[in-house]
Amino acid sequence: MSTASAYLTVRGLDIDIIRKDIKHLHVGVYPPAGRVRVAAPIGLNDEQIRLAVIQRLAWIRRQRKELQGAARQSVREMVTGESHYVWGLRKRLKVVERPGRAHVEIDGDRLALYVSSDASVEQRRTYLDRWYREQLRTALPDVIADWEQKLEVVVPKWTIRRMKTKWGSCNRETHELWFNVELAKKHPDCLEYIVVHELTHYFDGSHGARFTALMDRNLPDWRSRRDELNGAPLAEEDWDA
């Protein structure tokens, strides 16, 4: 019979741990995004599980690479008709070439990019990246303010950046937060999950039992939100998460 689940980070990998009445530890890597779950005997402590995972890291990373390779989007060429995601919704890009200032807007199920005819593919990507940043910059204040009140904390500063290995990050000394611009492509529930995750690090810097208990109390469905985030289509330049 399973006990309460736990949550560890091992060499940058988030690991779900379920302790059961079994004799041997089992490590599984599951689709679509390569979530790592460990079924462990009840008597094993976190450090023993951590060492067991480290011994299997090469195999785990091979499995994750295979799964995530299948889920990646193709390289974005920034042409009419290709798919892009905005807050978890799939939009078809419509490129409109015309003089004047470049801008992006949502037009029903289309994501319209207005650019000059001589704009390069890289310039088009830059314009769209700026638009995603603005979407996130607009959405974050309300989410942060809501959870500042609920958790009785204060966020002195937050920043949007492109990060290769994390959706978000927290400096426990300064309480400064960083959010990955790619979050603007995911469902709003995923953004709220990352905000709560990083704010929970104000109270616990690890991903151990206390952290898991705090997450369970503050955002009971956090695991499903995390799985939705990690299961969403990844851009070609995205990372292991």
Beta strands in 99-239 (DSSP E): 103-107, 110-115, 158-161, 168-170, 177-180
Closest by CA to 214, choosing from 202, 228, 229, 226, is: 202
Looking at residue 233, the DSSP 8-state letter turns out to be P
- Domains of the chain (ranges plus CATH)? 6-71 (no CATH), 83-231 (3.30.2010.10)
| Residue 89 backbone phi and psi in degrees, to 5 | -100, 135
Query: pLDDT tens digit string along 87-137?
Result: 999 999 999 999 989 999 999 999 999 999 999 999 999 999 999 999 999
- What one-letter code names the amino acid at 156? P
Cα 221 to Cα 212: distance, rounded to the nearest angstrom: 12
**Model pLDDT, residue 156:** 96
Confidence category of residue 236, pLDDT binned at 50, 70, 90: very low
Between the CA of residue 91 and those of 4, 60, 82, 226, what are the distances in Å? Answer: 40, 33, 8, 22
Give pTM, 2 decimals: 0.72
The residues, ordered by sequence, that sit 6+ positions from 100 with a Cβ below 8 Å of its Cβ are: 114, 116
